[in-house]
Amino acid sequence: MPEGRQPILELQGITKSFGGVEALRGVDFALLPGEIHGLVGENGAGKSTLMKIIAGVHTEFSGRFLIDGAETHFRSARDAHAAGIAMVHQELSVAPDLTVAENVFLGNQPTNALGLVQWRRMAREAGEQLSRFGIDVDPMSRLGDLPIGLQQLIEIARVLFSGARIVILDEPTSALSPPEVERLFTTLRRLREQGTAIVFISHFIEDILRVSDTVTVFRNGRKVTETASADTTKGALIEAMIGRGGEALEHSYSDDLILPRPSDSSVVLKVDQLSLTRSLQDVSFEARAGEVLGIYGFMGCGQQELSRILFGKLKPDAGTLIVEGKPKTFASTAAARRAGVALVPESRRAMLFHQEPVFKNISISILDRISSLLLKPAQEREIAKRQVEQLQIRPPVVGLDLGMLSGGNQQKVALAKWLTYPPKLLVLCEPTRGMDVGAKNDVINIVRDLRARGLAIIVLSTEPETVLSLADRILVLKRGAVVREFKNEPVSKDRLLEAA
Amino acid sequence: MASSETAPAAGQRGKGLAPFLRSQMRNIAPFLTLIFLSAFFAFASPSFATIDNLGNILTQVSVTGVIAVGLTFVILCAEIDLSIASIANVTGIAVAYFTLQESYVNIPNIPLPGAAAILLAVLLCAALGLVNALGLTVIGIPSFIMTLAMMQIAAGISALLVRGQIAYKVPSLISTLGSGSIGGIPWIVIVAAIMLLAGHLVLTYTRFGRYVYMVGGNREAAEYSGLNVKLILGAVMVISAVCSGVGGMLGVAHFGSAQQNEFDTYLLDSIAAVVVGGTSLFGGRGGIGNTIVGLFVLGVLNNGLDHVNIDSFLKILIRGVILLVALIINVYAQRLREQAAE
């Protein structure tokens, strides 16, 4: 990049820790005006933490923070905003019930002398701004009625046109279709010409290479490299992200792992041409008894929707589910459960009853097997005790409220619900997310044991390690479509990331 | 986030009294209120604390009690039913409509044998409950709005049936249960006690009862556990309507007449009984035991205010204030419990 220009933003030796865990260790970061700066790294590498410091969300950290060469300390996100820094977060933060125009002007609607909103002016200006962005919508339509990708573009447009000098985009393209990504990039390049500095965080390395001038790679809270985008490749970036030579603490999966020969046991689930608006396109695959099928993809690739469809929580727009040779349309999750499908979603909160004792959490899904009319609490406790022993849930007290257990033990309870009368198909979303190494290993062993008992298991994860440690066969999901299947061949973290 | 104050690592034994009391606030507060009110009225009026008056209080809360049984199910699921009083009214009117009236009652009604009249009335309230259930679960109308509409619909049916007139006769079974007594105990009190007991047994000892608590505790988790949440929600709406209908029939016999707007005060009273008793408006916590305490609080309050010399118009305001205080305690108890659980 051109030398000699004064950085608009400069961070020196930034260290930030959360409860004793260092999220950032002595990071230097500089942003030039008129630059698009790409940021890559695995989940938890420290990208988001750094951006939240810049946006004034995290205010406690050590290190120097300079804007236009002058040392600054933000006390809130409001301070950052006043300094011309704006951020688009990964999760949509729009008001779906307001109009497009209101969303564009959220917080600073044009008003007349009486303080009343000037609707006509607002609609006109919103329309003009959006059409400069290539978005052609009626500014007075309700935002929530538009497709998700368009909503995201409108949110990005709002931030880009807010007059900010520094714009941070966190995973802006995950919900966008290719033409929408194109429009976004065109606008970003135009803003760059006007001197705006843009930070672009993405898992999609091709996107980063296409649009950014400079790329910085983070790993384990450190800045690993910073290079001009023109001088690097996807492979080199992936290597920098995951690091060669293993971190010793945990299997790093940087080396090739040989997947076994595909199983020829009976097909438990066949998914045929499954589609869901904006989430899934013609997804087809089979899951076999005694086999773990891993489905890997980035956040927002459609995994979540897929798992919900398999468990009858979402209805697909098209496509069929065939369970043990019979086509099924699940009217409810209860119907899916009766057909032998079980789901452990990624959020423990969504699947457990925190204010109820452990044994009620374990028995809830099998109550109809142990009692027809009257409850049998003694038997419930007995079953729960067996599961608690088998899965080594700590503390081993079935009468304790679930909320008193640690996260890893809660995750085991979430599994235990389904194990007394094992289902035919077990769908696990992010089964080891946020767990320490010991709990992770326990879960891996439980899953292997279930596979040995002949269950068909589907593991969906955004973490390559999770999929690699569990799966016999791996599908890669990208923007709602299956783009690659790994079977009976070598696979590694690089190869997975490359495919996604 | 991680509150090490209660030291979960040390196990649950050494927890101490304070956190226990805090987590039980929902059950303790209504009980203390009841004791306080009883003591106050006993002190303020010599005619309050008598066996006779206890009988009065029991009789006065019976109809509310029957209606509140079903409402407890609904509120445990974190839903609400505003149509209970209207459904009670229309069911009471329906059972009279199908009974032969004296010649001076000018209603074009359809006299049927007693058993048929009761059956039709029960079918009517169950059907109205089913409409509530379908609106809530199939169409997806929030129960607050759905039952608000049903409140008007049931009132409309009532109006069409009696056309501004008053009917007096109900089948003999209903009139015995509503206004007769056995061994000095009014039948209506016995019926209310049986209904409350049945409700308690269902909630505590049956699979369905467990589902009600789990759906109320965390609806999303219930769905991810493979429960048919819509079926359970639908069932509680029907249970609520049928309990209201039974309360309505007994009430008509108890008052000795069936007419429009006869049950209007029972909407607030029933909701108040459930909530004052400590059943959580957010679902999953509480039960019939709480509702019974709530009924007594309300009964003692209404009855006691008649025993002390007080402006009858002020009574309305006092009841409102008591309800507000109970709501504050209810919300506050939920927060304390959540803190205790963390």
- B104: pLDDT strictly greater than 70: yes
**CB within 8 Å: B12 and A342:** no
| CB atoms inside a 10 Å sphere around CB A20 | 5
- B341: pLDDT strictly greater than 70: no
What secondary structure, in 3-state letters, does B170-198 show? CCHHHHHHHHCEECCEEHHHHHHHHHHHH
| CB atoms inside a 10 Å sphere around CB A113 | 5
Q: What is the pLDDT of residue A433?
A: 73
CA-wise closest residue to A329 among A247, A274, A380, A267:
A274
Residue A213 in tokens: 């001038």
Q: How far apart are CA A279 and CA A268, in angstroms?
A: 24
Q: Please, are residues A428 and A458 in contact by the beta-carbon 8 Å criterion?
A: yes
- Closest-approach residue (CA) in chain A for B218: A353
Task: Tell me whether B201 touches chain A (CB under 8 Å).
Answer: no
For residues A1-24, average pLDDT:
78
Q: Report pLDDT digits (tens) over A140-184.
A: 888 888 877 788 888 888 887 778 899 999 888 776 777 788 888
**How distant is the Cα of B140 from the closest Cα of chain A, in angstroms?**
15
**How distant is the Cα of B327 from the closest Cα of chain A, in angstroms?**
21
Q: Per-residue b/e over A172-188, b at no fewer than 16 CB within 10 Å?
A: bbbbbeeebbebbbebb
Residue B65: band (very low, low, confident or very high) from pLDDT cuts 50, 70, 90 = very high
Q: What is the pLDDT of residue A19?
A: 65
User: CATH classification of A257-351+417-499, choosing from 3.40.50.720, 3.30.450.20, 3.40.50.2300, 3.40.50.300?
Assistant: 3.40.50.300
Chain A interface, mutation test: which of B13, B24, B224, B334, most A Cβ atoms within 10 Å? Answer: B224
Residue A437: band (very low, low, confident or very high) from pLDDT cuts 50, 70, 90 = low
Identify the residue with better confidence: B287 or A177: B287
Q: Please, are residues B91 and B155 in contact by the beta-carbon 8 Å criterion?
A: no
For residues B136-154, average pLDDT:
95
DSSP secondary structure string, B51-86? HHHHHHHHHHHHHHHHHHHHHHHHHHTT---S-HHH
Identify the residue with better confidence: B135 or B183: B135
Q: Report the amino acid identity of residue B195.
A: M
Tell me how many residue pairs between chain A and chain B have CB atoms under 8 A apart. Answer: 85
Residues of A with CB under 8 A from a CB of B: 311, 313, 332-334, 336-338, 342-343, 345, 349-356, 360, 364-365, 367-368, 371-375, 395, 397, 400-401, 403-404, 417
**CB within 8 Å: B226 and A334:** yes
Q: What is the pLDDT of residue A20?
A: 66
For residues B92-114, average pLDDT:
87
Break chain A into its structural domains and give their ranges. 9-242, 257-351+417-499
Interhelix angle B84-97/B229-255, rounded to 10 degrees, is 60
- A493: pLDDT strictly greater than 90: no
Q: Report pLDDT digits (tens) over B239-251.
A: 999 999 999 999 9
Q: Report pLDDT digits (tens) over A32-56.
A: 999 999 998 876 788 888 988 998 8
Q: Which residues of A touch B223 (CB under 8 A)?
A: 313, 333
Residue B142: band (very low, low, confident or very high) from pLDDT cuts 50, 70, 90 = very high
For residues B256-274, average pLDDT:
92
Chain B interface, mutation test: which of A367, A371, A372, most B Cβ atoms within 10 Å? Answer: A367
Residue A372: band (very low, low, confident or very high) from pLDDT cuts 50, 70, 90 = confident
Break chain B into its structural domains and give their ranges. 28-341
Q: Report pLDDT digits (tens) over A278-326.
A: 788 899 999 999 999 999 988 778 888 999 999 999 899 999 999 998 9
Q: How far apart are CA A325 and CA A306, in angstroms?
A: 20
The average confidence (pLDDT) of chain B is: 88
Q: Report the amino acid identity of residue B296.
A: F
Q: How far apart are CA B178 and CA A395, in angstroms?
A: 54
Assigned CATH class of A9-242: alpha beta
Q: Which residues of A touch B229 (CB under 8 A)?
A: 332
Q: What is the pLDDT of residue B338?
A: 64
Q: What is the pLDDT of residue B14?
A: 41
Identify the residue with better confidence: B148 or A158: B148
Q: Which CATH architecture has domain B28-341?
A: Orthogonal Bundle (1.10)
DSSP secondary structure string, B88-99? HHHHHHHHHHTS
DSSP secondary structure string, B99-128? SPPPTT---------HHHHHHHHHHHHHHH
CA-CA distances (angstroms) from residue A359 to A417, B37, B287, B338?
9, 39, 20, 20
Q: Report pLDDT digits (tens) over A105-145.
A: 877 778 888 888 888 888 888 888 888 777 888 888 888 88
Q: How far apart are CA A196 and CA A202, in angstroms?
A: 19
- B154: pLDDT strictly greater than 90: yes
Which of B220, B231, B284 shows the shortest C-beta gap to A355? B284
**CB within 8 Å: A395 and B205:** no
- A252: pLDDT strictly greater than 60: no
Q: Report pLDDT digits (tens) over B305-333.
A: 888 888 878 888 887 887 788 778 777 77
Most confident residue range from A122-131, A284-293, B28-37, B118-127: B118-127
Identify the residue with better confidence: B4 or B148: B148
Q: How far apart are CA B305 and CA B298, in angstroms?
A: 11
Q: What is the pLDDT of residue B145?
A: 95
- A246: pLDDT strictly greater than 70: no
Work out the percent of chain B whose per-residue pLDDT is above 90.
Answer: 58
Q: Report pLDDT digits (tens) over A52-95.
A: 899 888 888 889 999 998 998 888 888 888 889 988 877 677 78
For residues B182-205, average pLDDT:
95
What secondary structure, in 3-state letters, does A360-400 show? HHHHHHHHHHHCCCECCHHHHHHHHHHHHHHCCCCCCCCCC
Q: Report pLDDT digits (tens) over B209-230.
A: 999 999 999 999 999 999 999 9
Picking from A26-35, A208-217, B26-35, B53-62, which range would have the lowest pLDDT averaged per residue?
Answer: B26-35
Q: State the ipTM, two decimals.
A: 0.82
Q: What is the pLDDT of residue A247?
A: 42
Picking from A92-96, A278-282, A412-416, B277-281, which range would have the lowest pLDDT averaged per residue?
Answer: A92-96
Q: Report pLDDT digits (tens) over A378-393.
A: 999 999 999 999 888 8
Q: What is the pLDDT of residue A255?
A: 66
Q: What is the pLDDT of residue B93?
A: 95
Q: Please, are residues B233 and B136 in contact by the beta-carbon 8 Å criterion?
A: yes
Interhelix angle B207-217/B51-76, rounded to 10 degrees, is 70
Work out the percent of chain B whose per-residue pLDDT is above 70.
Answer: 93
Which of B218, B223, B342 shows the shortest C-beta gap to A333? B223
- B118: pLDDT strictly greater than 50: yes
Identify the residue with better confidence: B19 or B279: B279
Residue A111 in tokens: 């008003």
Residue A219: band (very low, low, confident or very high) from pLDDT cuts 50, 70, 90 = confident
**How distant is the Cα of B334 from the closest Cα of chain A, in angstroms?**
11
Q: How far apart are CA B37 and CA B18, in angstroms?
A: 25
- B342: pLDDT strictly greater than 70: no
What's the half-sphere exposure (Cβ side, CA atoms, 13 Å) at B297? Answer: 31
For residues B18-31, average pLDDT:
77
| CB atoms inside a 10 Å sphere around CB A225 | 15
